[in-house]
Amino acid sequence: MTGQKWKFVPITEKPDLESFDCGISELNDYLKKYAGQNHRKGLGSTYVLIPVEGEPVAAGYHTLSMAQVELRFLSEFQRKNLPKYPVPAVRLGRLAVDRQWQGTGLGEILLIDAIRRSVVAVQSVAAKYMIVDAKNKKAEEFYQRYGFQPFEGGSHSLVAAIDTLKELFAK
């Protein structure tokens, strides 16, 4: 874990995004070109991790939105006692750490913040699950360490019950 102190700011506070490079062009482009307008339009809430002191340079970010889960993507255990229609969820559509900070624990800081924001949101707006959209196998393995399970059918999306996540991070 890095000794640096961090804070989250909404992308609308205009942190410095120009040098951000996580190694995946799709995630870099989203942050630099689309995240701000999507945040303002209510299509996805993006929060950027910046140092508490010094220049507000983006070290990482995550984007959350509301979603729903089709039952066919859930395991038999996850479908148990659910209605026969899609259930509400929170989607962690994007999470990325700048290459300079990869391997320092910032991915976990970003994920915990996204989960905490989701847990707060579901106190007012129902959601049974949190969905994450992993961009590659390495990202899938990262999320699985925190209890996320692959969707049925082999996509790169994973799912975890909000109640499970509450317990995991309440400790």
Token pair listed for 132: 């994450």
Closest residue by Cα to residue 21 from 55, 61, 52? 61
> Is residue 47 flagged as an active site residue?
no
pLDDT at 70: 87
Which is it for the CA torsion 101, 140, 111, 24, positive or negative? positive
50: tokens are 């910046």
Tokens 């994007």 found at: 94
- The pLDDT averaged over each successive group of 10 residues in the chain (171 residues) is 83 95 96 97 97 94 94 82 89 96 95 95 92 91 92 82 83 56
- 8 Å CB contact between 146 and 157: no
Task: Map out the domains of the chain with their CATH numbers.
Answer: 6-170 (3.40.630.30)
Comparing CA positions, the residue from 41, 47, 48, 51 lying closest to residue 118 is 47
Secondary structure (3-state) at 48: strand
pLDDT at 48: 98
pLDDT at 171: 56
Selecting among 30, 47, 61, 143, the annotated active-site residue is 143
pLDDT at position 154 is 67
SS3 164: helix
DSSP 100-142: GGTTTTHHHHHHHHHHHHHHHHTTTS--SEEEEE-SSHHHHHH
- Predicted pLDDT of residue 170: 67
Give pLDDT, residue 130: 95
* Confidence (pLDDT) at 32: 97
Q: Which helix (H) or strand (E) holds 93?
A: strand 87-97
pLDDT recorded at residue 1: 47
Query: What global pTM score does this model have?
Result: 0.91
Residue 71 pLDDT: 83
